[in-house]
Amino acid sequence: MQRPRHFSMLRDFHLADWFTLANAFCGTGAIFAAMRFLQEGVVRDLLVGMALIPLAFIFDALDGRVARWRKSASTLGRELDSLADVISFGVAPAALAYACGLQGGWDWVVLSYFVGCGVSRLARYNVTAEALSGEDDKVKFFEGTPIPTSLLLVVLLAVAAVQDRIGTNLWFGVLHLGPWQLHPLVLVFALSGSLMISKTMRIPKF
């Protein structure tokens, strides 16, 4: 009986899986960049983190194409893709939003709701992908908006950062509701999360 080799799991990864891991790497880097900005206050760090999200989007788009090209799609690859997407398009945008100034108590609730919606959306997709696929075993449409659409939120935050409309200068100001603060800008995250978990919205997958 052959003994398992060290790092044998990594040796078994397909080419597409490495693109997926690059997606996760970009998302993790964006989170670290947000943390660094909160430590040192250098806007360039924040913008670098935001720039990593479009790069993650590119890797996310490529991994599926590479898997189909190499005919190497697998259950492991699908799970890896979902986990990477949670980091890059769920947690990272929320961390960047927090770094930009969405730090009130109600903002925390909304950003946590956004991440929860993203996780739920990916879990539902993994469970229903087989049922939604057609005769060619390819999913024809998304139920709810795909989680990578959160890239649009990051673009919005990047515009705010470039215009110095972050921190105390956030668009739409701040509201005091009970014991906590709410920045109205955070409601775009509530809308994005709600669209992700919609059961009635169907978006064709190209």
Distance CA 157, CA 10 (A): 36
**At 132, is the pLDDT very low, low, confident or very high (cuts 50, 70, 90)?**
low
24-47 pLDDT tens trace: 999 999 999 999 999 999 999 999
Provide mean pLDDT across the span 53-73.
Answer: 77
Which of 162, 35, 174, 192 shows the shortest CA–CA distance to 107? 174
Helices 92-100, 43-70: crossing angle, 10 deg rounding: 170
Q: Break the chain into its structural domains and give their ranges.
A: 8-204
% pLDDT > 90, the chain = 63
Distance CA 123, CA 131 (A): 14
Side-chain half-sphere CA neighbours of 11 within 13 A = 5
**Taking all residues of the chain, what is their mean pLDDT, rounded to a whole number?**
86
Provide mean pLDDT across the span 184-196.
Answer: 97
Which of 82, 51, 41, 42 shows the shortest CA–CA distance to 64? 82
Concatenated DSSP letters of 31-65: HHHHHHHHHH--HHHHHHHHHHHHHHHHHHHHHHH
Query: What is the CATH topology of the domain spanning 8-204?
Result: Four Helix Bundle (Hemerythrin (Met), subunit A) (1.20.120)
Is residue 20 within 8 Å of 82, Cβ to Cβ?
no
pLDDT at 139: 61
- DSSP letter, residue 12: T
Which of 109, 97, 82, 93 shows the shortest CA–CA distance to 171? 97
Q: Whose structure tokens read 């409601």?
A: 187
Q: Is the pLDDT of residue 205 over 80?
A: no
